[in-house]
């Protein structure tokens, strides 16, 4: 058949280009949960780089390594933070590709031996070409499916995607990656040296080489997976410790609130006890027509009464104290504090749980108004059949990024590992009462709704 070599070249290039484009999509899917915006640029840059490397007449050494490097540069330009995490992602993606294609290459070799490298096919060029195209499509198809499953598995075990990796954590993970990379370069070095010395591929002369490489690749992937799992368990332990510290702090705050309530009640009892004396003094001043002294005494009595009575009445002394303190804090910060909160007195909801919600929600709201010209925080509560709804709304100066997996806003503080637990604690309290939280926002406001189911 004429021009059969041209058809072979077209088939090779077409399959290679399609595979490069699909690999770009896989790179995009791999980094997407870790990057907030424009993660598609990473996949596009990888595909464009690989297309350039593939179409360049001169053969390049380690083109896929260069492609991943371009993807890493794009990740850093797209989001200039969490650099250490991006280093781990880039190296992992490169090694995962090598491992997946190395393992699935065994399937390709088997299909070549059965359907192409046979005496019959060697005498039928057209059928051989068709069989080659089918085998290549199956090989790349299987490799892509396996790559997709591996990516999904990595995403599943890598839970804290929005947190950067510390220096020590990077060393822990990089130790495993470095071991795999040493094996990768060692296998490539020996195969290249063997070709230069003998003119034959080592796997054609020594089939055991392929078996050994596949075993190493499978073990290497297992090692990377275990390293990620260990890393995530360390992060989870740190998270639990931070949550426990925060909870202990909130318990201490609640104790202080209770002490203040007891002091408040003591002051009220003292005023009631002395009320007869106060009335007697006022009566004598009035009878003697000492107007100036009367006004002065009444002002002092009014001041003492106002200091002994919470400014905000919610139906519960603990929440009265909390919201009164938040009111004073808002006044000091120049925040318009609007409170229409009522405690659910006819339910089994614990005052401590409500105080956890109020403290965390209002603290977050105060932080959220930074940058607003006319800052405000509004809190309200109401019953809707068997649901007790608590809403906290505040103005915002910019859109709040929300984690796709947790549904919670991402902390804007630099030390992300030590912050961002307030809303998680609120959700934990809500789930204790078979409820949950909901977050909604527009260009100017952010609203947290907490639902607690009551009898």
What are the tens digits of pLDDT across the range 308-355? Answer: 444 667 777 778 878 888 888 898 899 999 988 888 877 888 888 888
Q: What distance in Å separates the CA atoms of residue 367 and residue 400, rounded to the nearest whole number?
A: 12
What is the distance, to the nearest Å, from the Cα of residue 262 to the centroid of all Cα atoms in its chain?
Answer: 42
Closest residue by Cα to residue 232 from 403, 248, 224: 224
What is the distance, to the nearest Å, from the Cα of residue 419 to the centroid of all Cα atoms in its chain?
Answer: 12
**What is the overall mean pLDDT for the chain?**
82
Same domain, 179 and 90: yes
Q: What distance in Å separates the CA atoms of residue 345 and residue 2, rounded to the nearest whole number?
A: 91
For 455, the 3-state DSSP assignment is: coil
Same domain, 218 and 324: no
Closest residue by Cα to residue 136 from 284, 13, 246, 294: 13
Q: What distance in Å separates the CA atoms of residue 206 and residue 263, rounded to the nearest whole number?
A: 86
Which pLDDT does position 417 carry in this prediction? 45
For residue 287, CA distances in Å to 122, 127, 219, 284, 293 come to 127, 123, 98, 5, 12
Residue 291 resides in a domain:
no
Residue 380 resides in a domain:
yes
Domain boundary, last residue among 241, 269, 296: 241
Residues contacting 433, CB < 8 A, separation 6+:
349, 353, 452, 453, 454
The residue-averaged pLDDT of 238-246 equals 73
The residue-averaged pLDDT of 228-255 equals 76
Same domain, 216 and 80: yes
Same domain, 212 and 316: no
Same domain, 434 and 321: yes
Same domain, 318 and 447: yes
Q: What is the DSSP letter of 370?
A: T
Same domain, 223 and 321: no
Residue 75's CB: how many other CB atoms inside 10 A?
26
Residue 342's CB: how many other CB atoms inside 10 A?
17
Residues contacting 325, CB < 8 A, separation 6+:
none
Q: What distance in Å separates the CA atoms of residue 16 and residue 10, rounded to the nearest whole number?
A: 10
Residue 263 backbone phi and psi in degrees, to 5: -65, -40
Same domain, 232 and 343: no
Left if phi > 0, otherwise alpha if psi is -120 to 50, otherwise beta: which for 406? alpha
Residue 403: domain span: 312-455
Q: What distance in Å separates the CA atoms of residue 404 and residue 443, rounded to the nearest whole number?
A: 19
Residue 90 resides in a domain:
yes
Which pLDDT does position 149 carry in this prediction? 95
Residue 439 resides in a domain:
yes
Which pLDDT does position 384 carry in this prediction? 82
Please give the angle made by the CA atoms of 410, 413 and 419, to the nearest 5 degrees: 70
pLDDT bin (cut points 50, 70, 90) of residue 144 is very high
Residue 402 backbone phi and psi in degrees, to 5: -115, 135
pLDDT bin (cut points 50, 70, 90) of residue 172 is confident
pLDDT digits over 126-138, tens only?
A: 777 888 888 889 9
Same domain, 20 and 105: yes
Please list the residues that pair with 451 across neighbouring strands. 389, 436
Residue 167 resides in a domain:
yes
Domain boundary, last residue among 181, 211, 241: 241
Residue 389's CB: how many other CB atoms inside 10 A?
15
Same domain, 237 and 316: no
Q: What distance in Å separates the CA atoms of residue 94 and residue 369, rounded to the nearest whole number?
A: 43
Residue 178 resides in a domain:
yes
Number of domains in the chain: 2
What is the distance, to the nearest Å, from the Cα of residue 259 to the centroid of all Cα atoms in its chain?
Answer: 38
- Asked if the model's pLDDT at residue 30 lies above 90, the reply is yes
The residue-averaged pLDDT of 202-214 equals 87
Its pTM surpasses 0.75: no
pLDDT digits over 39-70, tens only?
A: 889 999 999 999 998 888 777 778 899 999 99
DSSP string, 319-354: HHHHHHHHHHHHHHHT-EEEEE----TTS---HHHH
Q: What distance in Å separates the CA atoms of residue 143 and residue 58, rounded to the nearest whole number?
A: 27
Which pLDDT does position 277 carry in this prediction? 61
Same domain, 73 and 155: yes
Domain boundary, last residue among 214, 241, 268: 241
Residue 249 resides in a domain:
no
Q: What distance in Å separates the CA atoms of residue 85 and residue 416, rounded to the nearest whole number?
A: 14
The answer to whether 398 touches 412, Cβ cutoff 8 Å, is: no
CATH code, domain with 382: 3.30.565.10
Residue 286 resides in a domain:
no
Q: Which range has the top average pLDDT, 323-332, 362-371, 412-421?
A: 362-371
Instruction: Give 3-state DSSP helix, strand, coil % of the chain, rounded to 5.
Output: 70, 10, 20
- Tracing tokens 């804007």 back to the chain, one arrives at 412
pLDDT digits over 371-390, tens only?
A: 898 999 999 998 888 889 99
- Asked if the model's pLDDT at residue 418 lies above 50, the reply is no
Q: What distance in Å separates the CA atoms of residue 121 and residue 16, rounded to the nearest whole number?
A: 23
């Amino acid at each position: 058949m004429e021009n059969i070599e041209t058809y072979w070249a077209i088939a090779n290039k077409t399959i290679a280009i399609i595979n490069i484009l699909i690999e770009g999509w896989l790179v995009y899917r791999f980094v997407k949960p870790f990057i907030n915006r424009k993660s598609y640029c990473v996949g596009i840059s990888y595909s464009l780089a690989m297309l350039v490397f593939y179409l360049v007449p001169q053969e390049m050494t380690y083109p896929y390594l260069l492609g991943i490097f371009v993807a890493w540069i794009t990740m850093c330009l797209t989001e200039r933070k969490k650099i250490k995490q991006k280093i781990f992602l880039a190296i992992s993606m490169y090694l995962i590709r090598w491992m997946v294609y190395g393992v699935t290459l065994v399937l390709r070799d088997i299909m070549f031996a059965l359907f192409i490298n046979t005496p019959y096919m060697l005498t039928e060029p057209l059928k051989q070409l068709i069989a080659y195209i089918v085998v290549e499509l199956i090989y790349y198809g299987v490799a892509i499916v396996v790559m997709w499953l591996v990516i999904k598995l990595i995403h599943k075990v890598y839970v804290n995607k929005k947190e950067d990796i510390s220096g020590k954590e990077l060393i822990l993970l990089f130790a495993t990656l470095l071991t795999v990379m040493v094996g990768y370069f060692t296998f490539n070095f020996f195969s290249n040296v063997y070709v230069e010395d003998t003119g034959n591929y080592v796997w054609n002369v020594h089939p055991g080489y392929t078996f050994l490489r596949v075993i190493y690749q499978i073990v290497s992937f297992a090692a990377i997976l275990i390293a990620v799992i260990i890393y995530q368990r360390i992060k989870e332990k740190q998270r639990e410790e931070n949550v426990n510290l925060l909870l202990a702090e909130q318990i201490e705050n609640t104790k202080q609130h209770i002490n203040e309530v007891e002091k408040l009640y003591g002051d009220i009892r003292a005023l009631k006890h002395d009320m007869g004396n106060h009335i007697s003094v006022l009566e004598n001043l009035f009878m003697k027509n000492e107007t100036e002294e009367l006004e002065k005494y009444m002002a002092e009595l009014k001041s003492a009464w106002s200091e002994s009575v919470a400014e905000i009445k919610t139906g519960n002394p603990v929440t009265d104290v909390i919201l009164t303190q938040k009111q004073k804090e808002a006044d000091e910060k120049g925040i318009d504090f609007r409170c229409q909160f009522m405690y659910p007195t006819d339910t089994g909801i614990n005052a401590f749980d409500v105080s956890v919600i109020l403290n965390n929600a209002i603290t977050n709201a105060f932080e959220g108004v930074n940058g607003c010209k006319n800052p405000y925080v509004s809190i309200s509560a109401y019953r809707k059949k068997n649901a007790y709804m608590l809403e906290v709304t505040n103005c915002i100066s910019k859109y709040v990024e929300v984690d796709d997996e947790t549904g919670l806003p991402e902390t804007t503080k630099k030390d992300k590992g030590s912050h961002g637990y307030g809303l998680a604690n609120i959700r934990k309290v809500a789930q204790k009462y078979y409820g949950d939280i909901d977050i909604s926002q527009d260009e100017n406001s952010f609203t947290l709704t907490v639902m607690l189911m009551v009898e």
